[in-house]
Amino acid sequence: MTNRNEAPGKGWIEGMVSGNVHLTQNLFSLRIEADLAPFTAGQYTSLALDIDGQRISQPYSILSAPGQQPVEFFFYTNPEGQLSIELGKLQTGDSVWIQEQAEGNFTLEQVPSSDCLWLLATGTGVAPFLSMLLTPEPWKRFRHVVLVYAVRQWQDLGYGDLIKGLQQAHVDQFTFVPFVSREKIEGSIHGHIPASITNGTLERVAGRNMTLPNSQFMLCGNPGMVQDATVALEQKGFNRHGDGVSGQITLESYW
Ligand SMILES: Cc1cc2nc3c(=O)[nH]c(=O)nc-3n(C[C@H](O)[C@H](O)[C@H](O)COP(=O)(O)OP(=O)(O)OC[C@H]3O[C@@H](n4cnc5c(N)ncnc54)[C@H](O)[C@@H]3O)c2cc1C
Ligand SMILES: NC(=O)c1ccc[n+]([C@@H]2O[C@H](COP(=O)([O-])OP(=O)(O)OC[C@H]3O[C@@H](n4cnc5c(N)ncnc54)[C@H](OP(=O)(O)O)[C@@H]3O)[C@@H](O)[C@H]2O)c1
């Protein structure tokens, strides 16, 4: 499915699109047949298209689990952007450049074991978390996992069936908390993640306490959410993890 011989740049291989599913006007998923080098759930790779004679690339988190074929990605279409809008037009059988070797440290390997793992995402930032949750690791290392997924409107919540499947497979170990900011929807929190950390709504709805020795947090997506949620967690006594410092907050911003 991939053609290493024809890939001009080092590290680029050719993948073939095997599906493009549009969830909304702005959100879509691509399935790509590509022989990626082994990667760890949570990592990203780069995708590229040759546009007007120039190779335009951007990083994208892998949503599917390591070893799964085709490889899957979840995209927001920036109407003014160069690449995402073109990726959204790809059809089955089209080719796309992909970096063979995924990279990044936003993985569970970097996160200390704890009682509860909180995964906080906005929009397509849910992708690395779904990849992690499709592996056995979180279920072996954390007694409880809470997935928090914040979108503007209910229709923006992708991968509902996959999340339902995780709920059924891990009934006592997994809690899903959706946030919808621009509509009032029963069964979801109306508002933003950082405020709900500060005012206790998230702990109440999730039915779990954010206690210092027993919680780890991973944050991904909109940089505003990542920054504001980090401040909210720091005000509760949690600290950034990494660079030799042992803490509870691990993060990845998409722009
Ligand atoms: C480590 C990493 C992983 C990423 N993974 C994903 C992913 O899995 N899916 C994905 O859609 N994007 C992801 N991104 C963002 C992606 O790399 C591009 O920035 C995005 O596709 C826009 O590229 P563009 O060329 O179309 O537009 P550009 O001209 O580069 O537009 C950038 C602008 O688009 C907006 N934007 C960018 N990404 C998003 C997003 N995901 N949701 C909402 N608004 C956004 C922001 O306003 C940003 O300033 C990731 C970024 C990083 C750094
Ligand atoms: N999705 C669309 O229909 C749409 C349409 C036009 C343009 N865009 C552009 O798309 C990009 C984002 O699209 P998106 O909807 O996928 O993702 P998003 O803007 O990141 O929104 C996802 C969720 O994060 C929330 N959020 C935003 N800033 C936050 C902060 N500082 N703290 C906490 N939560 C925060 C949003 O709330 P709010 O509802 O309060 O923002 C929303 O609930 C932006 O650049 C935007 O200009 C999107």
What is the mean pLDDT of the segment spanning 23-37?
97
Compute the mean pLDDT over every residue in the chain, rounded to the nearest whole number: 95
CATH of the domain at 173: 3.40.50.80
Pairing between β-strand 95-99 and β-strand 12-22 as defined by DSSP bridges: antiparallel
* Residue 130 sits in the same domain as residue 76: no
Q: Please give, one letter per residue, the 3-state secondary structure of the chain.
A: CCCCCCCCCCCEEEEEEEEEEECCCCEEEEEEECCCCCCCCCCEEEEEEEECCEEEEEEEECCCCCCCCCEEEEEECCCCCCCHHHHCCCCCCCEEEEECCCECCCCHHHCCCEEEEEEEEEHHHHHHHHHHHCCCHHHHHEEEEEEEEEECCHHHCCCHHHHHHHHHHCCCCEEEEEEECCCCCCCCECCCHHHHHHCCHHHHHHCCCCCHHHEEEEEEECHHHHHHHHHHHHHCCCCECECCECCCEEEEECC
Matching residue, tokens 């936003």? 106
| 184 in a structural domain | yes
- Minimum-distance ligand 1 atom for the alpha carbon of 59: 17
Distance in Å, CA 150 to ligand 2 centroid: 9
Q: How far apart are the CA of 36 and the centre of ligand 2, in A?
A: 31
Residue pLDDT, tens place only, 45-91: 999 999 999 999 999 999 999 999 999 999 999 999 999 999 999 99
Question: Ligand 2 centroid vs 229 CA: distance in angstroms?
Answer: 15
**What is the structure's pLDDT at 4?**
39
| CATH number for 68 | 2.40.30.10
Rounded to whole angstroms, the Cα distance separating 132 from 129 reads: 5
- The percent of residues above 70 in pLDDT, for the chain, comes to 96
Q: What is the rounded distance in angstroms from the CA atom of residue 10 to the CA atom of residue 221?
A: 29
pLDDT of residue 5: 37
Cα(91)–Cα(29) distance, rounded to whole angstroms?
11
Pocket of ligand 1 contains residue 59 by CB under 6 Å: yes
Substitution site in 61, 80, 152, 183 for ligand 2 pocket (most atoms within 8 Å of beta carbon): 152
Nearest protein Cα to ligand 1, atom 35 = 78
Residue range 33-45: average pLDDT? 98
Q: Given 99, 120, 142, which residue is the final one in a domain?
A: 99
Contact 175, 207 (CB under 8 A): yes
Quote the CA–CA distance of 206 and 193 in Å, as a whole number.
12
- Residue 7: pLDDT over 50: no
Residue 6 falls within a domain, yes or no? no
Q: State which residues form the domain around 247.
A: 108-253
* In the chain, % of residues over pLDDT 90: 95
Structural domain total, the chain: 2
* Ligand 1 atom at minimum distance from 76 CA: 11
Atom of ligand 2 nearest to the CA of 221: 20
| Listed residues 46, 67, 99: the one ending a domain | 99
| pTM score | 0.94
More confident residue, 3 or 164: 164
Ligand 1 in reach of 39 Cβ (< 6 A): no
For residues 224 and 115, state if they share a domain.
Answer: yes
pLDDT at 3 over 80: no
Same domain, 32 and 125: no
Looking at 99, 131, 155, the residue that finishes a domain is 99
Could you tell me if 94 and 113 lie in one domain?
A: no
**Residue 4 domain flag:** no
Q: What is the mean pLDDT of residues 207-219?
A: 96
pLDDT value for 10? 56
Query: Does residue 199 share a domain with residue 142?
Result: yes
Q: Is residue 209 part of a domain?
A: yes
